[in-house]
Amino acid sequence: MYAILDIETTGGKYNEEGITEIAIYKFDGHQIVDQFISLVNPEREIQPFVVKLTGINNGMLVNAPKFYEVAKRIIEITNDCIIVAHNAVFDSRILTTEFRRLGYTYEKQSVCTVELSKKLIPGLPSYKLGKLCRSLAIPVASRHRADGDAMATVQLFKLLLNKDIDKEIVKKSVKTIIPKKLAPKLQDVLDELPSKTGLFYIHNGTSILYIGKGKNIKKSVNQLFLRTSKKAKEIQNKLTSVTYEDTGNELIAKLKFAEQLKVNKPKYNFINKNNLNEVTFNNDNFLIVEKGRETGEKSVLLIENNEVKGFCYTDLNYQINNLDVLHSLISPMDNSILNRNIIKKYLQKNNVEKLIRF
């Protein structure tokens, strides 16, 4: 028995999204035997781009049931079922997160129709649901609404079951919705971390075992906790706490990451010793201004006489425009080949907020 579903969400930070609409079709391999479709009040704002994409706005959800009011029905209709979804990792994570907020552990096996389609119908131009259905002439009644997308997934899944003559690919594609359930200790640690850009430090007592970085600290730590390599398992077993450092942007995160590896030499970090080319900047004296850690704050990186001097955070234009003041604010950084390469590559790949030459 399968529960073929689609979920629409508010959008927003990783693991902080809420469900706005859910559609579930219970499918016995031949026909739909039950269904559940409902708007859901997420008790949080919907991101504007999501409103534009789905047509679901906050006003539509004022009188909709909250997740705890539909949770029992979801459990009932998915009982003894394998979850089927297009990009099952996403839908599974959202459901698991919502149930965890209620203090309930929700674990199901899942099948992803994206993965199955790539294996069974190779060579298509796109495997996004809309374009895939267009390629396969599967009608989609209302794209980016749970009911329409779930019904399209039902039709797609029927086609895939048909193509899987030996049933081997379906068997191999079955996975657990929480493939590696986090130990309570790890989940508690994860719950305390922010969805911000920066660094995180895995501690064993006073020792730093591992340093990581990411656009989303919580997501990066979660990915580390879900790994099954020998090194990852050792880190998970030995950690006593995780601390983090919000940097506000990727450039400062990359520079501080390189700095912290050099200073702390964590046991489980791989240190890249590849030779790097010497870098000369296009201008001898300039400031790189990027967003800071909070609204109104900026990070400022100082390059003077073609040397990396350091960085600081400020919320005053006067501090940015006054070099003497800036010198007193910055935290020094090595004018190393590595740091110069990090800055050069960042400038090549990103449009910075401001580049001030002086």
CA dist 323 and 213 (Å) reads 30
Q: Which helix (H) or strand (E) holds 308?
A: strand 307-314
Q: Where are the domains of the chain?
A: 2-176, 184-264, 286-357
Least trusted range by pLDDT, from 49-53, 171-175, 230-234: 171-175
Question: C-alpha 98: how far from its chain's center?
Answer: 16
Query: Is the pLDDT confidence value at 167 over 70?
Result: no
Q: Which has the closest alpha carbon to 158: 138, 184, 129?
A: 138
Alpha helices (runs of H) in the chain, residue ranges in sequence order: 48-54, 67-77, 88-101, 113-120, 129-136, 146-163, 168-173, 184-191, 217-226, 230-238, 250-264, 317-321, 323-329, 337-349
pTM beyond 0.75: no
CA dist 106 and 340 (Å) reads 47
Q: What is the mean pLDDT of residues 184-193?
A: 85
Considering the chain, what is the average pLDDT of its residues? 89
pLDDT for res 121:
86
pLDDT for res 177:
47
Q: For residues 170 and 207, is the Cβ–Cβ distance under 8 A? A: no
Q: Enter the DSSP assignment of 61.
A: G
More confident position, 175 or 65: 65
pLDDT for res 174:
57
Q: What CATH number does domain 184-264 carry, 3.40.630.10, 3.40.1440.10, 3.40.50.300, 2.60.40.1230?
A: 3.40.1440.10
Pull the structure tokens for residue 160: 């895939």
Q: Enter the DSSP assignment of 219.
A: H
Tell me how far CA of residue 241 lies from CA of 132, 189, 277, in angstroms. Answer: 45, 7, 37
Report pLDDT digits (tens) over 77-132.
Answer: 999 899 999 999 999 999 999 999 999 999 888 989 999 999 888 888 899 999 98
Query: Is the pLDDT confidence value at 160 over 90?
Result: no
Q: What is the mean pLDDT of residues 289-298?
A: 92
pLDDT for res 135:
82
Tell me how far CA of residue 119 lies from CA of 177, 215, 228, in angstroms. Answer: 20, 31, 25
Report pLDDT digits (tens) over 239-248.
Answer: 988 989 999 9
pLDDT for res 182:
61
Q: What is the mean pLDDT of residues 134-159?
A: 88
CA dist 91 and 177 (Å) reads 9
Q: What CATH number belongs to 2-176? A: 3.30.420.10
Query: Is the pLDDT confidence value at 340 over 60?
Result: yes
